[in-house]
Amino acid sequence: MIDVVNLCKTYEYYKKDTGLKNSFKNLFHRKKLYKNAVKDISFTIEEGEFVGFLGPNGAGKTTTLKMLSGILHPTSGNARVMGYVPWERNNEFKRNFSIVMGQKNQLWWDLPTNESLLLNKCIYEIDDSKYNNTLNELVEVLDVKDLLKIQVRRLSLGERMKMEIIAALIHRPKIILLDEPTIGLDLVSQRNIREFLKYYNTTYKATIILTSHYMKDIEELCTRTIIINKGQSVYDGKITEINGVLKDAKIIKIRFSTHIDKDVLSQIGRIREYAGDYVVLEVDKTRLNEHSKTIMNDMPVVDLNIEEIPLDEAIEAIYNNHDGG
């Protein structure tokens, strides 16, 4: 569905010092600088995949999505989405993709949502029956049927985001690009949108790319993750294998009936958190069974849990490794 080969996007910009003198100076002479927002990214995505697209701020995530949607032209490289070149803006291509940006509105602020949806119906030339069926299904699943006639400006952030998603899906696109769709939402709204996206992906086999700084979104929705940093791809694989890229370790959380000396615990693994009768240890994965037996047999254990290294820490380690840290 998506095939990207050596895609690049470079921006030109200028720097200017403060003051009237420097403003006049810049009229006649200014140094041109370049920023590689995206640099030689390549990947393929199959039909029905739900892919997490991660990276720190300024890594090039949004720029890549804008190129895949045809909003931006690349500086070099190629991309095919459903067989189309996105920036050629073929009508059939535009009918089959949608992009949702959490920090930008597509709904008319002063109109009720149903007016904006009706406009989308006309733009995409959706017949009445298909439009009504799709709309009824989406508002039912997202539980916003009673809000359709209310001005968008009167809706809460979570309600607006649900309406934005409905507007993006009213024409049943095959490709969906989601840029921070849960940004600023409360936990309940985030969960509701995650559940809906999971439902939509499973039901319609839609191909979805998701960018998000909320690891819960990525963990619950995506089976594959592409991580970029400074415009370059630094990881592409299963989300379950991210931990193994740099950290061959496990977390053991233990609660004791009495205080245990730090020196004793430090011989087992690295102490990440210590409160006397409660400790969090990072241990070598290859010696996990050995360490677990030692703790259970030789110490007054009340409770013990074994967990993976938190996903956000593993991803941060990938960033740092790419930076040379």
What total number of domains does the chain contain?
A: 2
pLDDT digits (tens, 9 = 90+) for 41-65: 999 999 999 999 988 888 888 899 9
Instruction: Scan for tokens 């849960």, then name that residue.
Output: 182
CA–chain centroid gap for 55, Å, is 8
Asked whether residue 313 is assigned to any structural domain, the reply reads no
Say if residue 132 is in the same domain as residue 102. Answer: yes
Say if residue 233 is in the same domain as residue 266. Answer: no
CATH number of the domain where residue 46 is located: 3.40.50.300
Asked whether residue 111 is assigned to any structural domain, the reply reads yes
Say if residue 174 is in the same domain as residue 283. Answer: no
Asked whether residue 26 is assigned to any structural domain, the reply reads no
Mean pLDDT of the chain: 86
Say if residue 58 is in the same domain as residue 94. Answer: yes
Say if residue 260 is in the same domain as residue 226. Answer: no
Question: What are the distances in angstroms from CA 178 to CA 129, 144, 149, 257, 321?
Answer: 27, 20, 25, 48, 27
pLDDT reading at 241 higher than 80: no
* pTM of the model as a whole: 0.77
CATH number of the domain where residue 276 is located: 3.30.70
The rounded radius of gyration (Å) of the Cα atoms in the chain is 25
Give residue 180's domain range: 2-6+42-243
CA–chain centroid gap for 258, Å, is 43
How many angstroms separate the CA atoms of 135 and 189, rounded?
20
Q: Among 173, 181, 46, 165, which Cα is nearest to 98's?
A: 173
How many angstroms separate the CA atoms of 280 and 290, rounded?
17
Q: Which among 216, 243, 270 is the end of a domain?
A: 243
pLDDT digits (tens, 9 = 90+) for 151-196: 999 988 888 888 988 999 999 999 999 988 888 788 888 888 899 9
